[in-house]
Structure 1
Amino acid sequence: PDGFCIPFAAYAQFTRSHGLAERLARMQQLPRFAEDAQVRRDALAALRAEMAQWPLPAGMAQAWQARWTQQLGGAGVFVRSASNSEDLAHFSGAGLYTTVPNVRAADALAAAVRTVWASVYNFEAWEARRAAGLDEETIVMGVLVQAAIDSTASGVMVTRDPFDATHRHATYISAKRGIGIRVVEGKRIAEQVMYSSRSKAVQVLNRSGDDVALQLDPAGGVREVPVQAGRAVLTDDLVHCRRDPSSRRPPGPENPKCNRPAAPARRALQPNSSHPLPIHL
């Protein structure tokens, strides 16, 4: 889908104007901050709440709104994270930061961007970066403002076996019906399958246990739609045509979309990458 980026420089300007570095230093001096996870959780929540209320530099929100109107027609957009602490060689960062779905009002766009910026300090993100030894002073957040599209099914594809790195011919797919926000966030049990490019076999690890799908709400955001839990999300044909376009089969009752090209991904990835690739059907 079409969209535009808000670069790291905008985040740096925003946080610098509000003294974030000094605020972080004070936070880390709180009693038992280093030892007590609950202290860190509470302090980070307070910081995110503050950041969500900090005024934007002059003209910044107006520039975003103009771009949204001129390029995307003011239609609903997903406001997505794009930090420099994602998709690293030894740290994926998947699911750590916040996406604000289907933003439809001009004033809500600025609020959504601040929410994504503040998600740098999600508790899970802080803990994961800390465990990985990443330098907090170097972390910045970009934002992708992207046209909202509905999905019949969506999820994440990893072109490696995440359970055994020696299986270089394996692809892992985690998917559920509807928009896949909760799959990426790890909040729902998704359908999990493994595909072998060597044997062309599809192994079902488990079916989705979710009995609702997320769909775009015309009023903004997303809404839950009931679905049948345990029913297959991905047929073998769909798995083949997502992972191996050369093996696409003619469309039929079980694979009506298999002759369509894959939707553009948020990040361009090369085959055999170990990073998660969003997929939409």
Structure 2
Amino acid sequence: MTAQLLSDAADPATDRTVVGENLSLPLFRTLSGVLAGHPYLKVVVDRAENTWHLLDTAAHPFHVNYVATRVLGMELAALDAELDAFNASVYMDPGRRFLLGVLSLHTGEDAEGRERPFLVLETTEADTMSGELLAFFYEFVRARVDGRLPVLLKPANHGQEEELAAISERLVPRILSHELFGSRTRTPLNPGEVTGRLRFFRTNEEYAAAEAGLGWADIVAMPCLPDDVPRVAGFLNTAQITPLSHTNVLASGWGIPNAIVRDLEQLVERDGLDGAWVRYRVGEDEISLERLEEEPVLRAPAWHQQRIRLEPPLLEDAPVLSLHRLRSADRDRYGTKAANLGELHHVLDSRTADLTAFYGRPRPPRDDLYGHLATRFGLSDPSVPELRARAADFVAGTVGAPEGVALPFALQQHFLASSPALQQGIGKLKMALELDATEVLDPLCLQLQQLIRHTPVPESVTRQISQAFPVPPAELGRLVVRSSSNAEDLPGFSAAGVYDSVTTVHGTGELLDAVRQVWASLVSPRSVRLRHQVGISLDDTYMGVIIQEYVPASLGGVLVTCDPTRREDFRNVYLNCSPGSPEQVVDGSVLPQQYLYNVVEGGGRTVALGSWGDGLPAATRARLADLSLTGRLLQSHFSGSDFGGADVDKPLDIEWLMTERGDFRLVQIRPYAL
């Protein structure tokens, strides 16, 4: 068979694309690039010509451009004008001429423990190949790859997994995404680059002994970092965690690199990295840790001089209100979380918000993504008002907002003012902060927290809380009490996981204890230190409280309306879940299942199964696809100009649960910092 070279570059000599040649490992290495740490090669099977094209990765970044311009002779401008229709013809048409895929190179072990390379074939995530077409694709490629190289097919989405279920693995050997990447040695979590001193801790005890001495120039490495880790230069984990863990949310909000490096202990021992100065870089496709021979001259990071100013809170008397009576503007009286939940009630009840703005933005060469959204809704060429109305109905039919009440800042103020001892404790803490006497902050904070937890709640405050419910709290069953401060979810200051919530509360006595615990978390040593570092004054910091009825959950978790590991990806939503309530996902007590859902073309795929051996049923995954689309639609409102935002591309962090009846409830909505 004769190899043919094609090029769409100005100089054909720079393009090594091969047509019709069998693939050997040396040829693969010649043509391949690197993606997610693995060499990969784009392939195009032309069924009409019974041949395939092995694309030079450096010359051809996109399958579609190559097929259109080099095979079909189209002008690039013509392709751009009809890009979505052309994509549908090569990714979704059952009778398509071209089959587009990627071969990636991996290494495994044979029966004798020796390393052995193997290839993995997959399509794009939006491809809707049938089982029959997938089998043809695999057999075509397998017949043209060096027989010494094993080839496995990796389904690109849940639909392909279901299509392949009826086909024998002897005919189409396969590997699932979570099987391929679940044991990956190195995984980027949050991109960034920093120079600092590596501090490696093998155990929590080692970390605890050194925690007080950690500073802004340290890169902290250990199996799993605790949620209360201080603000440092970077994170490294040696055990598996999720991109939606509290520590990675902190890394994202702080703009510091974070990654999983499971062989870090060997690297530390081999290169003597513990305590060494290193240059640490996390990118989408690589993680590097370079030892420096000399101690660098470092400047304190920008956040160390940063000063965040809060809008003055409104402390005039305000009633305890049902969540559905709040709007976003009430954040200055009830806190951000409570105001966001009130706004969610308004969006669901009124159905007047524009939830399509994200899809209305230009995505060059596309003018917008309205057509994709219409397809998801089963609409044919709707007007923009029709699409907006359908989006509002879809969201209202998919999720509900939690019932509950919100306690205003004024109630906390009345409580604090009721006790001279509390006022004295607050005065001492303010004085220490003004003098920057950080060495006495922790004991002062702990003493003040103890006072808050044990100071009696004034009768007037107790009465306002009790009267907010239709029946006495003792008759309400289990309650959940959550924090809602004005000093969180700010640009440059996330505060994820910093303030307390109490998820098991029964009766009036426990309710008052839980409210005081939430109030006390505002002056925890960690929260005070973090706010002090960015110049947030204690005088401007207040805590509202959300009280909700507990809703039993069959499934719960967190989703963010982006792919945290690939910032430029506008298609996907990342979702974590585990059986039961979302709290165990949020607090990191379990390793959740992880999914990516494409909210443009549709489809989803399993990233990891976490602590559970089996994935979710197909029907449940389909429901999660609807939930993911709902999250992206809500992003249009909560990040858009109607909500005081300026960029509908800014993602949301949504905590959710599925009730035992199969309904979704959103229990928290906040910005997700990128």
Give the structure-2-normalised TM-score: 0.32
Pick from 595, 598, 621: which aligns with 1:236? 621
Match of 1:149 in 2: 551
Pick from 399, 414, 432: which aligns with 1:13? 414
Q: Report 1:113-132 matches (<5 A).
A: 113-132=515-534
Q: CA deviation at 1:81?
A: 0.8
SS, match of residue 167 in structure 1: coil
Q: CA deviation at 1:161?
A: 2.8
- 1:95 partner amino acid: G
SS, match of residue 469 in structure 2: helix
Match of 2:653 in 1: 276
Match of 2:581 in 1: 179
Q: CA deviation at 1:109?
A: 1.2
Q: CA deviation at 1:41?
A: 4.5
- 2:487 partner amino acid: S
Distance 2:456 2:537 in 1: 26
CA deviation vs aligned residue, 1:12-62 (integer Å, no higher than 9, x gap): 2222333556524424667x98555xx644543332222101122232112
Match status 1:195 vs 2:572: no
Residues 204 and 120 (structure 1), Cα distance of their counterparts in 2 relative to 1, 3 Å cut: farther
Residues 151 and 136 (structure 1), Cα distance of their counterparts in 2 relative to 1, 3 Å cut: same
SS, match of residue 240 in structure 1: helix
Distance 2:616 2:520 in 1: 33
Contact 1:177 1:233 in 2 (8 A): no
Q: Report 1:20-99 matches (<5 A).
A: 20=422, 22-27=424-429, 34=437, 40-70=441-471, 74-99=476-501
Distance 1:40 1:185 in 2: 26
Residues 205 and 165 (structure 1), Cα distance of their counterparts in 2 relative to 1, 3 Å cut: same
Match of 1:256 in 2: none
SS, match of residue 655 in structure 2: strand
Question: Which structure has more RCO (C-alpha within 8 Å, separation ≥ 6)?
Answer: 1
Match of 1:100 in 2: 502
CA deviation vs aligned residue, 1:83-109 (integer Å, no higher than 9, x gap): 112233443322222111232212211
Contact 1:153 1:233 in 2 (8 A): no
Residues 193 and 55 (structure 1), Cα distance of their counterparts in 2 relative to 1, 3 Å cut: same
Residues 95 and 190 (structure 1), Cα distance of their counterparts in 2 relative to 1, 3 Å cut: farther
Contact 1:79 1:145 in 2 (8 A): yes
Q: CA RMSD in A?
A: 3.3
- 1:5 partner amino acid: A
| Percent of aligned positions that are identical | 24
CA deviation vs aligned residue, 1:253-273 (integer Å, no higher than 9, x gap): xxxxxxxxxxxx9xx945755
SS, match of residue 175 in structure 1: strand
Residues 143 and 245 (structure 1), Cα distance of their counterparts in 2 relative to 1, 3 Å cut: closer
Match of 1:111 in 2: 513
Distance 1:159 1:107 in 2: 39
Q: Report 1:154-169 matches (<5 A).
A: 154-169=556-571
Distance 2:613 2:444 in 1: 40
SS, match of residue 168 in structure 1: coil
- 2:657 partner amino acid: H
Residues 144 and 130 (structure 1), Cα distance of their counterparts in 2 relative to 1, 3 Å cut: same
SS, match of residue 544 in structure 2: strand
Distance 1:174 1:134 in 2: 32
Give the structure-1-normalised TM-score: 0.71
Pick from 202, 205, 227: which aligns with 2:607? 205
Distance 2:512 2:534 in 1: 31
SS, match of residue 504 in structure 2: strand
Contact 2:428 2:444 in 1 (8 A): no
Distance 1:205 1:124 in 2: 33
Q: CA deviation at 1:153?
A: 1.2
Distance 1:137 1:170 in 2: 41
Distance 2:536 2:454 in 1: 27
Q: CA deviation at 1:279?
A: 0.9
Q: How many residues align?
A: 240
- Between structure 1 and structure 2, the one with the greater Rg is 2
- 1:232 partner amino acid: G
Match of 2:66 in 1: none
Distance 2:653 2:527 in 1: 17
SS, match of residue 498 in structure 2: coil
Unaligned ranges ≥5, structure 1: 210-228, 247-264
Residues 60 and 123 (structure 1), Cα distance of their counterparts in 2 relative to 1, 3 Å cut: same
SS, match of residue 276 in structure 1: strand
